[in-house]
Amino acid sequence: MSLLSLFTFGCSSAPKFKSVGVDEFARVAQDSTTIVVDVRRADEWAAGHLPQAQYNIDVTQEGFSEKAEATLPKDKTIAIYCRSGRRSKDAANRLAECGFEVVEMDGGIISWQEKSMPVVK
């Protein structure tokens, strides 16, 4: 057995979600089959969020996966973001494990704002 096969044994070599940049995320968010979810804290949401965001489900709160499953439809693409992309990758993994089709915005709302994309309060 090679070192590589030892390293990858039992691990998925590919992410279970798609991570995209701001421009692609904006296109995905406009699709009627997409639900946009902000996975930051409520105070971060209140300070400014994407206009397309339909839900704010804090990934750091206990019961995140259960709340997401009770709230979000599994027949839609779930597009998620956070501040910088770290929490949204965690959330994306968790949602994908629950059976959701997930697209995550790499770089988060920071990258969104750097491209002068709109934010609402």
Give the residue numbers annotated as catalytic, written as ranges: 82
Residues contacting residue 6 through CB under 8 Å, at least 6 positions apart? none
Q: Which of 38, 65, 31 is nearest to 53 (CA)?
A: 38
Which two structure tokens, joined as six digits, stand for 30? 């406009």
Residues 6+ apart with CB under 8 A from 17: 92, 93, 95, 96, 102, 103, 104
Cα–Cα distance between 115 and 1 in angstroms, integer? 47
Cβ–Cβ contacts within 10 Å for residue 70, how many? 9
